[in-house]
Amino acid sequence: MKLIASLTSPFARKVRIVLQEKRIECPLTVDIPWDANTQVPNVNPLGKVPVLVLDDGSSLYDSRVIVDYLDHVSPVSRLIPSDYRQAIQVKRWEALADGICDAAAAIFLERKRPARQQSEDWINRQQLKMARGLAALSEDLGERPWCNGESYTLADIAVGVCLGYLDLRFADITWRESYANLARLADKLAQRPAFADTVPPA
């Protein structure tokens, strides 16, 4: 089994954190899908990372499928509750955090295009998604110690990765000042070795 990923992808970081929390040994191959010599399309027809290549040569993608698989192949530190209702709540947190990352990545890529080709309407639409998403994360978290209540789960990993990606790509977004509860959660997560070991390069 091996993981193919970019070090700056929030979705790949989520998988890398899950691997560490589950204590699953898995070599990492860094591959940037935008590079001319990328091999990613050979293992994922969508040309996106992360991709988990299994021992039989088959591939798993996207990150939500991969983390679900990893949580079931190892009994260590279950990150998705066995109770169906609680599992759905964790997956809902993950979907919201991933959606914010999707919008942020869309803006990042749009701004890499020549200025005359960029769409401000498109950028504004993604910014609204991010703003609404952050407000929803903060409201849902409230004063609880963890996203899903009293225990650390995949929900916290997804939210922590999302906030870390905003710090990486959008330092001008002052989410810490606007949402103190998210800042406290992010600071707590940063102390975990799995988060500290996967901080993306600047």
Mean predicted confidence (pLDDT) in 58-70: 98
* Domain final residue, candidates 73, 95, 130: 73
Q: pLDDT value at position 17?
A: 98
Give a yes or no: residue 135 inside a domain: yes
Mean predicted confidence (pLDDT) in 172-193: 97
Give a yes or no: residue 78 inside a domain: no
* 8 in the same domain as 35: yes
Q: pLDDT value at position 70?
A: 98
User: pLDDT class for 125, splitting at 50, 70, 90?
Assistant: very high
Query: Mutual orientation of helices 120-141 and 84-110 as an angle, nearest 10°?
Result: 150
* pLDDT tops 90 at residue 162: yes
* 11 in the same domain as 44: yes
Give a yes or no: residue 64 inside a domain: yes
Domain extent at residue 151 = 84-192
* 133 in the same domain as 53: no
- Cα 146–chain centre separation: 17
* pLDDT tops 90 at residue 202: no
Give a yes or no: residue 36 inside a domain: yes
Mean predicted confidence (pLDDT) in 34-63: 97
CB atoms within 10 A of CB 169: 18
- Residue 34: CATH number of its domain: 3.40.30.10
* SS3 per residue for the chain: CEEEECCCCHHHHHHHHHHHHCCCCCCEEECCCCCCCCCHHHHCCCCCCCEEECCCCCEECCHHHHHHHHHHHCCCCCCCCCCHHHHHHHHHHHHHHHHHHHHHHHHHHHCCCCHHHCCHHHHHHHHHHHHHHHHHHHHHHCCCCECCECCCCHHHHHHHHHHHHHHHHCCCCCHHHHCHHHHHHHHHHHCCHHHHCCCCCC
| Average pLDDT over the chain, rounded to an integer | 97
User: pLDDT class for 7, splitting at 50, 70, 90?
Assistant: very high
* 95 in the same domain as 37: no
Q: What global pTM score does this model have?
A: 0.97
* Counted domains in the chain: 2
Mean predicted confidence (pLDDT) in 91-106: 98
Q: pLDDT value at position 72?
A: 96
Amino acid, res. 5: A
